[in-house]
Amino acid sequence: MSLRSFLSDVVYSAYGRRLIQQAKGRHPRHIAIMLDGNRRWAREAGFTDVADGHRAGAKKIADFLSWCNEADVEVVTMWLLSTDNLGRAAEELSPLLKIITDVTDELAAPHTPWRLRIVGALDLLPPEVAKALSAAAERTEGRTGMEVNVAVGYGGRQEIADAVRKLLLQHADEGTSIRELAKILDVDHISEHMYTSGQPDPDLIIRTSGEQRLSGFLLWQSAHSEFWFTEAYWPAFRRVDFLRAMRDYAWRHRRFGS
């Protein structure tokens, strides 16, 4: 190791400890993250195949979950593939779906503590992909570790539409008329049918790559979320970036409309 690298490691280590100290006292129960910038990272790194960016991003996921675990986060939601992404060319989409399936299998491996939940419109995915993702999540049932939502084929509007559809079908089966349902319908009825039902809404939503918009991510659940944006592409996202997000979250005063 060169002297320059050694000094850099020392500085970052000291800075990391300072950030941890500054973030003490309050941490998010639920962190949601948009893993953005894989393709741009690949192009700027000189790769001709953007799938190399997706592979580099997939390798970062285990590190990120370990950081969340160390911070006592209870739920993590990771957006890996949107409904809009399903319209990409087959030569890019097919390798990406394979990468997502592989990393989900890795997260469900026997030595990992995570409890997986697949959130998204699985019926929009190729049947073999949907089956593999669901099987991985089933293998983690009964675990007591951090809950990890893997958002694949996910769109916020799609989720709300699916929730309303499930709600209507449930009440139709129970013999409730539309007029009767309209009299009792409230936000809790819809929340009970969202993909993340039973989980706390995200306290903190992180987006990498410099984009500063939600793009349809967790539209329903993000009503009171804090947002943190970083210029770093997802494959280049570091522990120090995570700690900065945690520090900034701890410093914010959440009013919830009051």
Same domain, 224 and 121: yes
Q: What is the CATH number of the domain that holds 75?
A: 3.40.1180.10
Same domain, 39 and 85: yes
Does any domain span residue 4?
A: no
If pLDDT is split at 50, 70 and 90, which confidence band does 16 have?
Answer: low
Does any domain span residue 5?
A: no
Domain range for residue 168? 156-194
Same domain, 175 and 236: no
Q: Is 149 a catalytic residue?
A: no
CA nearest to 18, candidates 29, 7, 10? 10
Same domain, 137 and 211: yes
Same domain, 42 and 104: yes
Amino acid of residue 198: G
Judge whether residue 12 has pLDDT over 60: no
Does any domain span residue 245?
A: yes
Same domain, 95 and 161: no
Does any domain span residue 175?
A: yes
8-state DSSP, 181: H
Amino acid of residue 102: D
Judge whether residue 153 has pLDDT over 60: yes
Whole-angstrom Cα distance, residue 24 to residue 45? 36
Amino acid of residue 68: C
Q: Is 38 a catalytic residue?
A: no
Same domain, 183 and 93: no
Residue % of the chain over a pLDDT of 70: 88
Same domain, 136 and 176: no
Does any domain span residue 47?
A: yes
If pLDDT is split at 50, 70 and 90, which confidence band does 207 have?
Answer: very high
Q: Give pLDDT, residue 165.
A: 95
Same domain, 66 and 145: yes
Judge whether residue 21 has pLDDT over 70: no
CA nearest to 100, candidates 119, 72, 113? 119
Opening angle at CA 77, ends 204 and 163, nearest 5: 105
Same domain, 177 and 97: no
For the chain, the residue count is: 258
Q: Give pLDDT, residue 210.
A: 96
What is the distance, to the nearest Å, from the Cα of residue 39 to the centroid of all Cα atoms in its chain?
Answer: 18
Same domain, 117 and 183: no
Whole-angstrom Cα distance, residue 216 to residue 157? 7
Number of domains in the chain: 2
User: Which pLDDT tens digit goes with each residue over 59-115?
Assistant: 999 999 999 999 999 999 999 999 999 999 999 999 999 999 999 999 999 999 999
Q: Which residues contact 227 (CB under 8 A, 6 or more apart)?
A: 204, 205, 206, 207
Does any domain span residue 162?
A: yes
Same domain, 87 and 139: yes
